Chains A and B, each alone.
Chain A
Amino acid sequence: MGFLHLERVSKLYGEFAAVRDFDLEIEQGEFISLLGPSGCGKTTTLQMIAGLVAPTNGRITLDGRDITREKPARRGLGVVFQSYALFPHMTVAQNVAFGLEMRKIAKAERDRQVAEILSLVQLTTLADRYPREMSGGQRQRVAIARALVIKPPVLLLDEPLSNLDAKLREEMQFELRRIQRVVGITTIMVTHDQAEALSISDRVVVMEGGRITQVDHPYSLYEHPKNNFISSFVGKSNFLAARAVKETAGVSLLVDNTDLKIPATGNYPGGELCLSVRPEKIRLTDPAGGMLRGSVSSRYFLGNQWLLSVATPAGEISVSVANLGAPPPSEGKVTGLAWNIEECRILAAEQEGILQS
């Protein structure tokens, strides 16, 4: 049994299910990300764990204790809100000390713990500032310090990095992971940024429309997405419509509008299928030597890589090419495309669930 356990937790607003049958077991010290598009129920899930929203159904247990109906103050979880929710009329030190004060910890001990946590988040010199006198990244660290100082069993982060600019965001991801490792705290982070989820979590929970669609380690999630939605939401993907055809040796997949056949194993009763290939897995070849042939319809330079869109009989295919040596063919040029057969996923068209991986 996990440290934090959510069993078939649901939240209904009237008829509308913001979260439905959420089942998850989290081990102590794990870093979990909740990933999903806007409105899929991530914040609602987090707030149910924090006790700020009451679940309609289901059970939440923490370390074997049922906390489903417990008040937020009694749960003692650390929460970092999307807007940070710092107390604007208190200094950094007073903000951080608030949780300790509520726990009736003596002043001297309180000051010692505040100083300790502020040095962990590297804010010692700003202890007497008010929140509005600080930058976004500094405020975020205050919010984390305020949540951590009460030594909560679980840290809940609601899109903690979404208000920061790209560069600061990357630094803070690093920082967040460092702090989490030092303290060894079980952490659940909400995000709608897939790169962020992949880069810092132990496991990623993908949600869609209030339900969990996949729970996996970042690498397997990226390499083995369970359905079209996940493979397009986590990273980018090309989808090729295909149908299964019987061969003497077994089954092949024939990509629509082409004569490209991909050998496959397994049984495909429906016939209508979908192949997914990630842009970075595709190589450019000379026009005659590829698996598909097409003309470049657009080409963007992104610094470390080129992003091409190639019009082929199977549809527009995006390809990303590392910036090594000569630039790739420019717009209008004809090129061949190839990839290793084991790099593509076979998914049933318009239907969830994986057929082969």
Chain B
Amino acid sequence: MTGAAIRPSPRLPAPFFLAAPATLLFIGLILLPLALTAVLSFNVYDYSSGVQNRYTTANYLTVLQDPYYLAIFWRTLRLALLTTVITVLLGTPEAYILTRMGKPWRSIFLLVIIGPLLVSVVVRTFGWSMLLGHDGLVNHALAMLRLEPVQLLYTETAIVIALVHIMLPFMVIPVWTALQKLDPTVEAAALSLGASRFTALRRIVFPQATLGILSGSLIVFGLSASAFAIPGLLGGRRLKMAATVVYDEYLIELNWPLGAAIAIIVLLANLAIMLAYNRMVERQAKRRLG
């Protein structure tokens, strides 16, 4: 058995056998449903008799021409971008501070950062809806300071706050990994050449973490653009995002083909944005950082 494995045997497609379970899983759970969704999105839907066995592009035309859906796509894109930018601005310094921490503190704070991932998104979102609600902690605090109460729940602000909270670990961890690989004397070199601490960070340390920031941004953007629980609970009936509108089409309107068409459009748009972004940043970073 062992002998056979060591002897070079070009005919035995061992790599294929080994890759088979994962491939089957991938085909069964991702490609197949995706293909079915794509097919469904071209089906004709009739309000009185349901999904028909005829095909049309009308679903796509409806979605792409209706200002209602376009507004939802635009909001999804805007909030996902905003969340990504805020997590970069918060997560990068956070990751840097983490690399500079001493022995016991680093592990403790890493746990603090990762800890929230162990709690369900739904539970954390409920937490935010209690904090931000009309009668929530934030408004009580404002009242104590004799300030006007603010409407936070069911606003875009609430969605972004909660998204940032949940996405932060996905930014901190890749950036932290990238920063850990840096040579600390490079920063010292910048200081010796006359840079202030802040300039050294801005010009020397963070640019070297570009690839970490890039992968963090891709994860955060992708997850935010397809977030469901947060806009569902904090956006209310009015403020819909891509994932919630798909849910509504399927389960409330029962117009599955239209829901499928929206899902496919969101998927393609997400894919196009992420690939374009990846290519743009990676091309620059690759040559410099290898």
Residues of A at the B interface (CB closer than 8 Å) are 50-52, 71-73, 75-79, 81-83, 85-90, 98-99, 102-103, 130, 132, 146, 150
Contacts and interface: CB of A to CB of B under 8 A. Distances in A.
A223 to B, nearest CB: 37
Q: Which of B186, B193, B194 lies at the interface centre, i.e. has the most chain A CB atoms within 10 A of its CB? A: B193
Instruction: Determine chain A's interface SS by DSSP, over half rule.
Output: loop
B194 A87 contact: no
B193 A89 contact: no
B63 interface: no
B76 interface: no
A52 B192 contact: yes
Nearest to B188: A52
A72 B194 CA distance: 7
A303 to B, nearest CB: 37
A167 to B, nearest CB: 26
Contacts of B226: none
B189 A76 contact: no
23 contacts: A50-B192, A52-B192, A72-B188, A72-B192, A73-B191, A73-B194, A78-B192, A79-B192, A81-B185, A82-B185, A83-B185, A85-B189, A87-B186, A87-B189, A87-B190, A87-B204, A89-B285, A89-B288, A98-B203, A99-B193, A102-B194, A146-B193, A150-B194
Given A73-B196, A130-B288, A89 B210 contact: yes
A73 B197 CA distance: 9
Interface of B: 183, 185-186, 188-196, 199, 203-204, 207-208, 210, 285, 287-290
A-B pairs, 6 with minimum CB distance:
A102-B194, A99-B193, A85-B189, A85-B185, A89-B288, A79-B192
A345 to B, nearest CB: 40
Contacts of A146: 189, 193
Nearest to B204: A87
B191 A52 contact: yes
Instruction: Determine chain B's interface SS by DSSP, over half rule.
Output: helix
A77 B192 CA distance: 7
A76 B195 CA distance: 10
Nearest to A74: B194
Nearest to B182: A88
Q: Which of B185, B195, B285 lies at the interface centre, i.e. has the most chain A CB atoms within 10 A of its CB? A: B185
Contacts of B194: 73, 76, 99, 102-103, 150
Contacts of A85: 183, 185-186, 188-189
B100 to A, nearest CB: 15
Nearest to A87: B204
A77 B289 CA distance: 28
Contacts of B189: 79, 81, 85-87, 146
Contacts of B192: 50-52, 72-73, 75, 77-79
Contacts of A130: 287-288
Contacts of B207: 89
A16 to B, nearest CB: 18
Contacts of A79: 188-189, 192
Contacts of A102: 193-195, 199
A140 B194 CA distance: 20
A39 to B, nearest CB: 18
Given A51-B192, A73-B193, 17 more contacts: A72-B192, A73-B191, A73-B196, A77-B192, A83-B185, A85-B185, A85-B188, A86-B189, A87-B189, A87-B190, A88-B186, A88-B290, A89-B285, A98-B193, A99-B193, A102-B193, A150-B194
